[in-house]
C-alpha cells in the first residue's frame, strides 16, 4: 500500500457548459488547486456546503471524473491514467447519498455480492465475503430481506457492506446521511467508525453536518472549490466565525462555548462535547 | 378555530391479524395563526396526520372540522379544503413538471378556477415571497439548483393563498445555510401573512427555534402537546422513543444537577448563554 | 411503507420447487401453459388440474396466497366470459331481448374462465417460488446461445432484474407525486377521456424525470462497483443442474406426453 491513501496536488476541475453546437459557453471551476493528504487507516472528513466542491472531489476519488489539471493519486495510482481505472475503483469504494439508487439486487445478500461478481471472484469466496461484510455492518440477519422493507439507515449499511465485499483499501462516503433521519444517521456513522477502528479501512466522509465530524482524525473544510481550513476537529471547531463565514453550521455546544468565551468566560478553545463544556464550567467555578 | 380533530383513528387492515393503527385516538385543536411543530420518528404517524388535515387520507373513524365545518359531510368539497389547507410534501421539488417556473406555480391557482391573468399575479406574488428573482421566471424549473427548486415548489402551494400551510420536512437534504434560509422564510411568512403554519420535522433544534407549540407523535398517538419548553422538560421520555431534545437542553439539565443556579428551560443557544452568564454573575454581551 | 405487489412476489418455503433450477421452472411454466390450451375433454382437464394441484401442494405456498393474483384479472375474466356467453352461436337456452345465451356459449365461457384461472395460477407459482434474480439468471443462461447472434443477452437480463427491483419504488413514487399534485388541486378522477389524459401530465413528467435521475445514479453506483458488462463476471448463485432438476424435466415431459396421448386416443 502506498504511504498515502489519497494524495491530491493542485487538483483542478472545470465544468464546461456548452451550447447546442458543442461550443464552450461558460466554465465553472468546481475544484480550484486542491491539495489533500490522507493517511491509510485514518478517518478523514471533508466538510462543505452544497456547491463547495466536495461532491466533485468525491467523484474524482473513484475516477467518475478526471482532473482538468493537477494530479490525484489514489492508493498510489494516478487517476488520469486510464489503465488504472478499475483498480482504483476496487481500492476506493463509494457509497452515495440516495439509499435506493445504489442498491441493485432484489435481495440484500445478492446486492452485496454484486461487486465481487463484477470482479470475477470465485463463487465460494463471494459467499464468504458477503457474510463477512454483512456481519461487519450488523446486517447479517437481514440477508434474505428485500431492500424495500428496510429503513434508510439499514439500506445505507447494506450499501456499505456491498462496498466492503470488494475489499477496498478505503471507502468514500458522499453525504451518506443527507436523506436519513437522526436514527439512521447514527446507525451509519457507528458502522463506518467500527469499520475504521476494527478493520482499519480508511474512511473519507463527505458531509455538511458538523456533528458527524467530531470523532474524525482530520478535517478539511471546502468552500468555492478550495480547501479553506484543515486540521483536527478541535482545531477546526474553535474557529467558529470562519466556519460560519463558509456556511457551516456549528453544533450548539461549540457555538455556546464560543459565545460564552466572547462574553468573557475563560473557556478553552475547540470544545466539542457537552461533557467537555460541563467540565470546563466546573473548573471555572472552582478556580 | 381552524382545525379540530376529534377521536380520529386511521387503521389499516382492520379486523385482521395484521391490523395496524397509523393514528390512534387523535384529539387536537389547531387555532388560527399558530406556528406549530410536529415531531416524531419515522413511522410515528406524523406524515399520516398531516395528510388527514387536508383530506388526502380519510380517517377510519372520528371527525375532522375545518373552520367549524365537518369535512366528511356529504356536500363538503375536499378540493376547496385543499385550497385552504396547503400541504408541501417532503422533497417538493419532485413535483415540478411545467416548462417554465411561472407556469408551474400557476398550476395550483388555475386548478382553483382562476383565469390565467389572476393565476399569474398570484404566481408572481408567491415567487416573490420565497425570494426567486423575476429574471428566472421564464426558465425551466429543471435548470435550477436544489434549494431554488424547493422554493419554487413551495411557491406553488403558496400561490393558492392557503389559510393553513403544512410543510413536511422542508429542510430535508439541504445544507445548514439552506436550512436556515428556508426556515427564516417560513417564519417570515407566518409573521407577515398571519397564516397558521405546521412544520413537520425530526430536527428538534430547528423546531425549537421557531415554533410556539410542539406536538410529539409516537406510534400513532399524541405523546406531548405544548410549548417547546414544556415538551423538552420530558427529554428523558423523548429519548426513550428515539427523539432527542436540543443539545443545550441536556446541557442545562446537567449543569443544574451539578449545582449551577441555571434554569433547565433553555432550548436555544441564546437562552443558554444568558442563563450561564447569569450563573457566573455576568450579564449578556 | 412500500407495498410489494404480487408480480414477482417471492414466498420462501424451502420446498423442492423453490430449490429447483429456474430454467426447469421456466420450461415447466411453458409446458404448463401449452397444456392449458392443449388438453382435450374432461379427462384432459382432470390431468391438468391434478398436475396443478400437486405442484401447488409441493410448493408449500398457501392456496389463499395464490388466489390473490386472481383478483387482479377478475374483470378480464368477466369480460371474456360475457363475450363467450353471448356471442357464441349455437343451441339457444335463454333469449333476452336481442341477446341469445347458448349452451355452447356457456361451455365456452366456463372453459375460458378455467383456462385464465389456470394460467394465472401457473405463472404465479413460477414467480412465488423463484426470486426475480433467479428468474433473470435463468433466462440469461437459457438464452445464452443467442449471444452468437449478437443479441445482448446479459444486458437484457440485467435490465430486467433492475426493472423488477425498481417497480415497487416507482409505484410508491407515483403515489407520492399524485398526492402532491392533488394537494395543489389536481383532479385525477373526474372528466372525460381528454381531460383525464391531460391530467396525467403533472404525474408523468415528474415520474419520468425521477426515473431518469435514478437511472443515472444507479449507473454511477454500478460503475463504482466495477461493473463493466457481462465479460469476466462470476456468479454468486450459479445455475447448476441437480438431480431434482433432472427428475423434474422427466416429470414434465411425461406430463406433456400423457396429454398428447390422451388427445390422440380420445
Q: Is the pLDDT of residue A174 over 60?
A: yes
What is the CB neighbour count within 10 angstroms for residue C128?
Answer: 25
Question: What secondary structure letter does DSSP report for A137?
Answer: T
Radius of gyration of chain A (CA): 20
- Pick the more confident residue, C71 or A73: A73
Dist. CA B39–CA B34, nearest whole Å = 16
Q: Is the pLDDT of residue A64 over 50?
A: yes
Q: A126 contacts in C (CB within 8 Å)?
A: 234, 236
The string of pLDDT tens digits covering residues A211-260 is 899 999 999 999 999 999 999 999 999 898 899 898 888 888 999 999 99
All three cell numbers of C89: 352461436
Contact B108, B120 (CB under 8 A): no
Q: In this structure, are strands B196-201 and B35-39 parallel, antiparallel, or unpaired? A: parallel
The string of pLDDT tens digits covering residues B46-95 is 999 999 999 999 999 999 999 989 999 988 888 889 999 999 999 999 99
Instruction: Give pLDDT, residue A2.
Output: 60
Neighbours, chain C (3 or more CB pairs < 8 A):
A, B
Instruction: Give pLDDT, residue C181.
Output: 94
Neighbours, chain A (3 or more CB pairs < 8 A):
B, C
Closest CA to A120 of B250, C225, C156, C86: C225
Contact B170, A243 (CB under 8 A): no
What is the CB neighbour count within 10 angstroms for residue C195?
Answer: 10
Instruction: Give residue A204's pLDDT band: very low, low, confident or very high (50, 70, 90).
Output: very high
Angle CA A240–A281–B202, to nearest 5: 55
Residue matched to cell numbers 450579564: B283
Cα A58 from chain centroid (whole Å): 8
Q: Is the pLDDT of residue A8 over 90?
A: yes
Q: C185 contacts in B (CB within 8 Å)?
A: 79, 82-83, 107-108, 111-112, 160
Instruction: Give pLDDT, residue B23.
Output: 93
Given a cut of 70, the residues of chain C with pLDDT beneath it are 1-8, 69, 98
Contact A1, A169 (CB under 8 A): yes
Spatial neighbors of A232 by CB under 8 A, at least 6 apart, are A217, A218, A219
Dist. CA A131–CA C1, nearest whole Å = 27
The ipTM value here is: 0.90
Phi-psi region at C5: left, alpha or beta (left = phi > 0; alpha = psi -120 to 50): beta
* pLDDT, mean of residues A58-80: 93
The string of pLDDT tens digits covering residues B86-119 is 999 999 999 999 999 999 999 999 999 999 999 9
- Pick the more confident residue, A41 or C66: A41
Contact C265, C41 (CB under 8 A): no
Instruction: Give pLDDT, residue B1.
Output: 62
Contact B97, C205 (CB under 8 A): yes
Spatial neighbors of A128 by CB under 8 A, at least 6 apart, are none
Dist. CA A8–CA A71, nearest whole Å = 6
Out of B175, B180, B258, name the one closest to residue A50 (CB). Answer: B175
Q: What percent of chain A shows pLDDT beyond 70?
A: 99
The string of pLDDT tens digits covering residues B121-141 is 999 999 999 989 999 999 999
Instruction: Give pLDDT, residue B283.
Output: 58
Q: Is C201–B107 a contact, with Cβ atoms under 8 angstroms apart?
A: no
Contact B141, B101 (CB under 8 A): yes
Radius of gyration of chain C (CA): 23
Instruction: Give pLDDT, residue C87.
Output: 74
What residues 17-56 of chain B have any CB closer than 8 A to a CB of chain A? 41-42
Least confident range from A101-105, B214-218, B245-249: namely B245-249
Whole-model pTM: value is: 0.87
Q: B228 — contact with chain C (CB < 8 Å)?
A: no
Q: Coil, strand or helix: which one is C144?
A: helix
Q: What is the DSSP string of chain C?
A: -PPPPSTT-------HHHHS-HHHHHHHHHHHHHHHHH--HHHHHHHHHHHHHHHHHHHT--HHHHHHHHHHHHHHHHHHHHHHHHH--SSEEEEETTEEEEHHHHHHHHHHHHHHHHHHHHHHHHHHHS-HHHHHHHHHHHTGGGGGGT--HHHHHHHHHHHHHHHHHHHHHHHHHHHHHHTTT--SSSS-HHHHHHHTHHHHHHHHHHHHHHHHHHHHHHHHTT--SSTT---SS-----HHHHHHHHHHHHHHHHHHHHHHH-
Q: Is the pLDDT of residue B42 over 70?
A: yes
Instruction: Give pLDDT, residue A112.
Output: 97
Amino acid at each position: 500500500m502506498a504511504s498515502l491513501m489519497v494524495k491530491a496536488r493542485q487538483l483542478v476541475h472545470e465544468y464546461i457548459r456548452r451550447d447546442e453546437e458543442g461550443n464552450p459557453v461558460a466554465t465553472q471551476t468546481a475544484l480550484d488547486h486542491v491539495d489533500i493528504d490522507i493517511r491509510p487507516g485514518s478517518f478523514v472528513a471533508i466538510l462543505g456546503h452544497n456547491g463547495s466542491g466536495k461532491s466533485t472531489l468525491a467523484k474524482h476519488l473513484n475516477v467518475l471524473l478526471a482532473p482538468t489539471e493537477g494530479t490525484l493519486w489514489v492508493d498510489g495510482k494516478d487517476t488520469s491514467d486510464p489503465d488504472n481505472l478499475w483498480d482504483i475503483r476496487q481500492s476506493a469504494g463509494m457509497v452515495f447519498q440516495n439509499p435506493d439508487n445504489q442498491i441493485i439486487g432484489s435481495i440484500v445478500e445478492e446486492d452485496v455480492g454484486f461487486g465481487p461478481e463484477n470482479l470475477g471472484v470465485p463463487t465460494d469466496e463471494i459467499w464468504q465475503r458477503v457474510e463477512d461484510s454483512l456481519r461487519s455492518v450488523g446486517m447479517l440477519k437481514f440477508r434474505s430481506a428485500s431492500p424495500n422493507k428496510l429503513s434508510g439507515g439499514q439500506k445505507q449499511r447494506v450499501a456499505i457492506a456491498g462496498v466492503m465485499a470488494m475489499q477496498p483499501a478505503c471507502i468514500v462516503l458522499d453525504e451518506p446521511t443527507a436523506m436519513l433521519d437522526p436514527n439512521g444517521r447514527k446507525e451509519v456513522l457507528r458502522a463506518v467508525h467500527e469499520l475504521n477502528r476494527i478493520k482499519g479501512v480508511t474512511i473519507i466522509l463527505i458531509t455538511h453536518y458538523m456533528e458527524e465530524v467530531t470523532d474524525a482524525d482530520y478535517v478539511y473544510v471546502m468552500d468555492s472549490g478550495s480547501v479553506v481550513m484543515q486540521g483536527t476537529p478541535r482545531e477546526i471547531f474553535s474557529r467558529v466565525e470562519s466556519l460560519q463565514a463558509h456556511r457551516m453550521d456549528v453544533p450548539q455546544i461549540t457555538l455556546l462555548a464560543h459565545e460564552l468565551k466572547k462574553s468573557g468566560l475563560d473557556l478553552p478553545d475547540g470544545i466539542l462535547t457537552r461533557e467537555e463544556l460541563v467540565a470546563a464550567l466546573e473548573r471555572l467555578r472552582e478556580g | 378555530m381552524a382545525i379540530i380533530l376529534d377521536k380520529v383513528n386511521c387503521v389499516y387492515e382492520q379486523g385482521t391479524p395484521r391490523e395496524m393503527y397509523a393514528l390512534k385516538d387523535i384529539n387536537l385543536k389547531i387555532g388560527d395563526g399558530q406556528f406549530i411543530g410536529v415531531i416524531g420518528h419515522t413511522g410515528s404517524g406524523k406524515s399520516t396526520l398531516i395528510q388527514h388535515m387536508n383530506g388526502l387520507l380519510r380517517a377510519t373513524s372520528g371527525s375532522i372540522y375545518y373552520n367549524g365545518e365537518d369535512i366528511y359531510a356529504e356536500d363538503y368539497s375536499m378540493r376547496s379544503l385543499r385550497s385552504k389547507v396547503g400541504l408541501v410534501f417532503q422533497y417538493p421539488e419532485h413535483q415540478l413538471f411545467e416548462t417554465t417556473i411561472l407556469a408551474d406555480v400557476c398550476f395550483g391557482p388555475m386548478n382553483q378556477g382562476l383565469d390565467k391573468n389572476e393565476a399569474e399575479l398570484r404566481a408572481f406574488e408567491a415567487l416573490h415571497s420565497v425570494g426567486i428573482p423575476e429574471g428566472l421566471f421564464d426558465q425551466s424549473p429543471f435548470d435550477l439548483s436544489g434549494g431554488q427548486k424547493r422554493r419554487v415548489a413551495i411557491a406553488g402551494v403558496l400561490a393558492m393563498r392557503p389559510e393553513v400551510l403544512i410543510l413536511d420536512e422542508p429542510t430535508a437534504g439541504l445544507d445548514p445555510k439552506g436550512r436556515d434560509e428556508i426556515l427564516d422564510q417560513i417564519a417570515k411568512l407566518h409573521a407577515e401573512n398571519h397564516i397558521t403554519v405546521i412544520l413537520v420535522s425530526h430536527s428538534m433544534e430547528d423546531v425549537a427555534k421557531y415554533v410556539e407549540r410542539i406536538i410529539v407523535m409516537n406510534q400513532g398517538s399524541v405523546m406531548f402537546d405544548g410549548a417547546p419548553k414544556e415538551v423538552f422538560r420530558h427529554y428523558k421520555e423523548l429519548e426513550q422513543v428515539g427523539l432527542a431534545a436540543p443539545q443545550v437542553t441536556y446541557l442545562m439539565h446537567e449543569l443544574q444537577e451539578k449545582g449551577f443556579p441555571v434554569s433547565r428551560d433553555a432550548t436555544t443557544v441564546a437562552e443558554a448563554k444568558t442563563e450561564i452568564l447569569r450563573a457566573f454573575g455576568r450579564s449578556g454581551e | 411503507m412500500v407495498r410489494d405487489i404480487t408480480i414477482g412476489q417471492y414466498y420462501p418455503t424451502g420446498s423442492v420447487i423453490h430449490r429447483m433450477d429456474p430454467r426447469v421452472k421456466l420450461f415447466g411454466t411453458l409446458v404448463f401453459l401449452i397444456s392449458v390450451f392443449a388438453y382435450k375433454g374432461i379427462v384432459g382437464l382432470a390431468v391438468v388440474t391434478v398436475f396443478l394441484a400437486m405442484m401447488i401442494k409441493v410448493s408449500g405456498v398457501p392456496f389463499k396466497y395464490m388466489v390473490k393474483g386472481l383478483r387482479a384479472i377478475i374483470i378480464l375474466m368477466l369480460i371474456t366470459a360475457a363475450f363467450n356467453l353471448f356471442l357464441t352461436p349455437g343451441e339457444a337456452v335463454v333469449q333476452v331481448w336481442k341477446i341469445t345465451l347458448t349452451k355452447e356459449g356457456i361451455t365456452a365461457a366456463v372453459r375460458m374462465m378455467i383456462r385464465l384461472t389456470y394460467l394465472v395460477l401457473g405463472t404465479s407459482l413460477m414467480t412465488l417460488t423463484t426470486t426475480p434474480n433467479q428468474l433473470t439468471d435463468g433466462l440469461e443462461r437459457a438464452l445464452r446461445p443467442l449471444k452468437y447472434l449478437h443479441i445482448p443477452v446479459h444486458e437484457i437480463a440485467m435490465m430486467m432484474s433492475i426493472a423488477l427491483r425498481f417497480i415497487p419504488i416507482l409505484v410508491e413514487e407515483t403515489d407520492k407525486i399524485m398526492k402532491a399534485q392533488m394537494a395543489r388541486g389536481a383532479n385525477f378522477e373526474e372528466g372525460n377521456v381528454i381531460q383525464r389524459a391531460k391530467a396525467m401530465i403533472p404525474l408523468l413528467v415528474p415520474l419520468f424525470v425521477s426515473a431518469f435521475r435514478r437511472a443515472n445514479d444507479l449507473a454511477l453506483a454500478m460503475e463504482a462497483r466495477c461493473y463493466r458488462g457481462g465479460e469476466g463476471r462470476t456468479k454468486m448463485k450459479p445455475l447448476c443442474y441437480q438431480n431434482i432438476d433432472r427428475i423434474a424435466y422427466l416429470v414434465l415431459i411425461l406430463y406433456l406426453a400423457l396429454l398428447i396421448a390422451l388427445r390422440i386416443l380420445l
